[in-house]
Structure 1
Amino acid sequence: MFRVAKKDAKGGQGMTQFGRALSELNLEILCANSSQAKGRVERMNRTLQDRLIKDLRLEGICGMDDGNAFLPRFMERYNRQFAVPPARSDDLHRSLNLAPDRLRDVLCKREQRYVGAQLTFSFERHRIMLEETEVTRGLVGRYVETYAYADGRLDVRWKGHSLPYQVFDKNQRVTHAAITENKRLGDVLAYIKERQEQQTKPAVKTNSKKNGYVRRARGPGRRKDFMNDPAVIARRRQALSDHDAAE
């Protein structure tokens, strides 16, 4: 929120959306770098995680609506017990001299997108295509700025000028309802489906067939027992007789 986690980020100019908005509003971010400031934050977290939970339990509150109705009473009682009056009671808030439309442009999500050769770029899993005009023809290879508002609207700008565009969903699929709207397209798809069903399905080859492996056939019957083979016995006896004769 306050710092860019990725140091080599291409966009953002080293600033988060929150930091950019404060910079355009001429507000400075004061981070809680001191131990005193961090102690205040931890004390508030302890209040929300400990004291508030116990008070809700004592009041018998277990719903969100009842909890929201109880918060003003809790804040009044908490401030009456723990609030410390400031050393200076001056109101240092300054007026915001910005038009409503200008404030909406500041408090929105703004990013830069690279325009491709077909005047398109990606945004939030959608394909944005700029309409071809005298301005957009020269935007190939350049960066445009996107303004994503909280109400879901998207505005594409180049040097402050809004550009017309069309949105295409990457995950869009052809459905049966979309096919029946065009009778000619439905007939063509039905004909293609019929031809595909008439064709024989190709046989799926195993990895052995793809590699050309052929299994060798084994001899019939069980493996021979060479200890009881007559030829082996005769050769063994001949060897023993030759050995005895030599001795």
Structure 2
Amino acid sequence: MSEIETITMSMREVDRVKVIEAVVDGRLMTWRAAERLGMSRRQVERLASRYRAEGAAGLVSKRRGKPSNHQLPEDTICRALALIHERYADFGPTLACEKLVECHGIGLAKETVRQLMIDAGLWVPQRDTLENRKLIGRYIEVWEYPDGRKEIRANGKLIASRAYDRLAEVDQGAIVEHKRLAHVLEISQAIQAERDNRRIGKAPSRAHRGAGVKTHERVPGTKKQRELTQADVEQVIVQMSSHKNMKSTAENPSDRSVQASDINAGALPDHMQSFDTTLLQPRKKRNRSPRNRDIST
């Protein structure tokens, strides 16, 4: 007994098999089958020839299981994902798509960027509920309390919400709570000191909570969050390392004399090579004789 062959077909291909079978049996004219399938008469004749030669398996698409001819190049996908990870991780798909075109010349469709961000875990698709759709175009109130708590209300009802702050800050409490990550959090705190922490200009000032009056100008020496690069992080790490070395040297002054003895005079400038390096040698201890020394010996 011959082994039964299994064929995977779509519903469209199953309907096509029925029509082509009727053409081969002479129960349906070629032009009528072309109208039903939405293709030309020559294409119907080619499908009929494949059906006579291979049977129903001849009508299955030959492209099934193979990559599409219109898929994006792998290097373009990797470059777009790298830029989104580095600079636009907190952007939505639409804004990230616009930035890729404007700043980097990468022309991708909005839905393509959305799918790439979903696959990379940078975007979580959300569906609008009936309650949310009812609030489109409606008046929404934002209540802010003196302790910093905020509530969103509509039609006199409290709406469940979650605060999202792109300029999150690491305070001393977080460093103390996570002692194992103290070094990393200290670096993050130092980078935040160089960041422009201005919020949107329409938000009111928080002077009653000691935050000070909001300024509309950037503080000199600060950068926006998207302008901070890996070079800024490395610079902060070097500065903190040198600061710790200077602090440890100040606490242990004996180490300075040992380090001074290792100075190479040839590495000094020409006008300082005549400097007497013997003055930098560590002080030697005197060999004191015992008080009750025997003179006869």
With structure 1 as the length reference, what TM-score do the two structures score?
0.19
Higher strand share: 1
Higher helix share: 2
